[in-house]
Amino acid sequence: MTSQELAMLAAEAISEKKGSRINVLHLEGLTVIADYFILANGNSRVQTQAIAENVEKKLEEAGVKLLRKEGYAEGRWILLDFAFIIVHIFQQEEREFYNLERIWGDAPQVPIME
C-alpha cells in the first residue's frame, strides 16, 4: 500500500467511529517527518480513544506497524505514528489551540469521502 492509501485507510477508520473534521495533509516534499498527517476530532476521551484503537486495528490489518502512541490515557490529543503517516486525534479545544492546519499551511489537503 502507498502512503496515500494508508492515509485514506486511516481516515476511513476515523469515520467509522464518527470522528469529525477529518483532514488529510500531504506533507511529502515539505518535511521528512511523514508523508501525510491525518487530523480529526472526537467529542470525548472515550471517543478519541475508540477512534485511535480503530485506526491502529485497521492499519495493523493492512500490515502497518504502530511505531509510537502518545496521549492515549488523557485522550485530549492522541498521536499515532506509523512512520509515513501520523494520525492526530483531538478534542475540540486542543485542535483549536495547536492549529496544525495553520502550522502546515503549505501542505495541500487531500480530498476524502466522508
Mean pLDDT over the full length of the chain: 93
Residue matched to cell numbers 495547536: 98
pTM of the model: 0.92
How do the domains of the chain map onto residue ranges?
A: 3-106
* Dihedral over alpha carbons 18, 87, 42, 113 (to 10 degrees): -30
Q: Alpha-carbon torsion 49, 83, 37, 71, what sign? A: positive
pLDDT at 103: 81
Q: Does domain 3-106 have CATH number 1.10.1060.10?
A: no
What is the average per-residue pLDDT within 16-44? 94
pLDDT at 113: 61
pLDDT in tens, 91-112: 999 999 999 888 887 887 887 7
- Is a pLDDT exceeding 80 seen at residue 12? yes
